Structure 1
Amino acid sequence: MDCRNEGCTQPQDEDIMDIPLDDPAANKAAAKIQAGFRGHMTRKKMKDDKPRDEVSSTGSTSICQG
């Protein structure tokens, strides 16, 4: 089905960009969101890397020190 024939409305670009980009509060909020996401991705990566290290039943790593 084609939306053009049924009169569907598409979101316009004007509605999407109604946030002033030079607003210091908006920039601060965006930086917080980005920092949180980057932290999330770093924690996720560290969690994925952790199972590769084998841990003995005593809780110490099984890497030989010599």
Structure 2
Amino acid sequence: MDCRNEGCTQPQDEDIMDIPLDDPAANKAAAKIQAGFRGHMTRKKMKDDKPREEKQREQK
């Protein structure tokens, strides 16, 4: 059944539940994805904070 053209009776999240949560390979992959995302957010925050630090140095 194609859900784009017809009404879906099953939720789209059903595929997510097929991942075994106790699988070491899945846990390792999840940790790697999370670490990459945390690094991305940290770099983004540092980039946003950098102009403020430079302005504070100029005012001193």
**TM-score, normalised via structure 2 length:** 0.67
Moved more, 25-34 or 9-18: 9-18
Give the secondary structure class of the aligned counterpart of 2:37. helix
How far apart are residue 17 of structure 1 and its match? 0.4
In the alignment, structure 1 segments of 5+ residues that lack a partner are 55-64
Distance 1:5 1:27, change over 3 A: closer
Aligned residues: 56
Task: Give percent identity, aligned residues only.
Answer: 96
How far apart are residue 28 of structure 1 and its match? 0.1
**Large movers: runs of 4+ above 2 Å:** 1-16
Taking the aligned partners of 2:38 and 2:5, their CA distance within structure 1 comes to 43
Distance 1:53 1:7, change over 3 A: closer
Taking the aligned partners of 2:14 and 2:2, their CA distance within structure 1 comes to 23
| Structure whose residues are more often helix by fraction | 2
**TM-score, normalised via structure 1 length:** 0.62
- Please tell me the root mean square deviation across aligned C-alpha atoms, in Å: 4.4
| Higher CA-based Rg | 1
